[in-house]
Chain A
Amino acid sequence: MAKILKPTQINRCNGCEMCIFEAQRQLKKVGLEDSLIRVFRKKNPETQAPEFELEIDPRINILDVEKIASICPKKVFEIQEEIKND
């Protein structure tokens, strides 16, 4: 079964973007353009503390998602098995 990268602990994200750069390296490039992961910065409206949102392109699963998950210092990601409905 295919493995899926899921950001299950997004509240832990520190915005380091290591996941973006790992995904890009697997595509043999350095930069942000056409990245399959994007990190957006925002502020918590109540506490004003910085928070982050992740947008993950479904095509991420063509990459080594375990390596992407393992480079995250905050363990934001989980690898899940794709469940196919027959």
Chain B
Amino acid sequence: MIDISVKKVLSIDLEKQEAEVKSFSDLNKYFGGTGLGLKLLEIYKDKNPLVFSVGPLNGFFPYASKTSIVLEKDSVVEDIYMGGSLSTRMKFSGIDSIVLSGVSQEEIILDIQNSIVNFKNKDTDPQSLGLPGKRSGIYFEEDKLLCDQYFTTPEYYLETIFKEKNIKGITITGTEIFSPANFDDYKKLYTEILDRKPDMRVDQAEYPSCSGCPMGCSKSKVGEIGGNVLLNSLVACQFADKIYTDIGVVFSCLNTLGYEYTHEDIENLPELIEETIRNIYK
């Protein structure tokens, strides 16, 4: 069962080929996504981290479908967002963030199943890893990294870091479940948000869709860079900003799932993120 009372971080040391899950209750105030990712970038700063994070709404509500990726490139912090099924697989792994530290001595593939990490030889067939239907994969196709063989990120930050760290690809499989205490309230709110399709700033189209989003829009393929900190900490899609920058809606979603956040926590988030960024650049 997914535990939402703490932030669970899968810390992977590429050099030692070791992994451990750490629980941080004191990081709850960073919510998730970019907020949590930046704080972890600060905590692991000396280890040259690459941080993947999901937010509290990923996997639970529609249009909250992106994965946040935070990294430091040439002494500049970058936050980029990837669509596809990665966010739901991370959520259903019970993991809020994956921190990849250091550099692998040889080119490897990471096979992550919930919180278990297997370090695989670079020649391993990605199709042999994970559980079909419950996995998501990030692998190179020519010079771009693609999630689910389609979704990618803007620029080449992620590709450069993968190459520097000797990571050839990652497969993530999530098999954990969650059951909100008041399931009827959850279903009602889910339906209300799903019905807000007209508030999306993209048109429904014929392209592959991110997991948990019905839009199949033309914008999902390349992901996003930068943007609204609340949205990016929930890791909704930037085109769902009319829905997920409404603090009342966000609070209802969090409350229905059982998160113990207050309005004040949501309002304090931008300042916390600013402080974290200042600390990273110190």
Given known A-B contacts A14-B207, A15-B208, A50 and B214 have beta carbons under 8 A apart = no
Contact B177 A29 (CB under 8 A): yes
Mask: chain A, 1-38; 1 = CB below 8 Å from B; 0 = not: 00000000000001111100100110011111101001
Q: Is the CB of B179 within 8 A of A16?
A: no
**A39 to B132 alpha-carbon distance, docked (Å):** 8
B213 at interface, CB cutoff 8 A: yes
How would residues 48 to 86 of chain A score, 1 for a CB under 8 Å from any chain B CB and 0 otherwise?
A: 001000010000000000000001011000000000000
In the complex, the answer to whether A40 meets B213 with C-beta atoms within 8 Å is: no
* CA distance in complex: A10, B62 (Å): 22
Bound CA span A61–B46, Å? 54
- Whether the pair A50, B149 counts as a contact (CB closer than 8 A) is yes
Q: How many residues of A contact B (CB 8 A)?
A: 25
Structural contact, A73 and B216, CB atoms closer than 8 A? yes
Residue from A18, A38, A41, A50 with most neighbouring chain B CB atoms (10 Å): A41
Give chain B nearest CB distance to A31 CB in angstroms: 3
Q: How many A-B residue pairs have CB under 8 A?
A: 84
Take A30-B180, A33-B177 as given contacts and tell me if A18 and B214 are in contact as well, using a CB distance cutoff of 8 Å.
Answer: yes
- A17 and B88: CB pair below 8 A? yes
Interface centre among B2, B59, B133, B148 (most CB of A within 10 A): B133
In whole angstroms, what is the CA distance A66 to B142 when docked?
42
Q: Which residues does chain B contribute within 8 Å of A24, judged by CB atoms?
A: 177
Identify the closest chain A residue to B215 (Cβ): A73
- Complexed CA–CA distance, A73 and B207 (Å): 12
User: CB within 8 A of B85: which of A17, A25, A33, A38?
Assistant: A17
Q: How far, in whole Å, are A10 and B65 apart by their CA atoms in the complex? A: 22
| B162 proximal to A (CB < 8 A) | no
CB-CB contacts of B1-12 with A at 8 A, as 1s and 0s?
010000000000
Separation of A75 and B178 alpha carbons in the complex (Å): 28
Interface positions, chain B 160-202, Cβ under 8 Å from A, are 174-180, 183, 187, 190, 194
Other A-B contacts than A30-B60, A73-B204, 14 sampled, CB-CB below 8 A, are: A15-B148, A15-B208, A15-B209, A17-B88, A17-B212, A25-B183, A28-B183, A31-B59, A31-B174, A33-B92, A41-B85, A41-B149, A55-B133, A71-B194
Q: Which residues of B contact A (CB under 8 A)?
A: 2, 59-60, 62, 85, 88, 92, 132-134, 148-150, 174-180, 183, 187, 190, 194, 204, 206-216
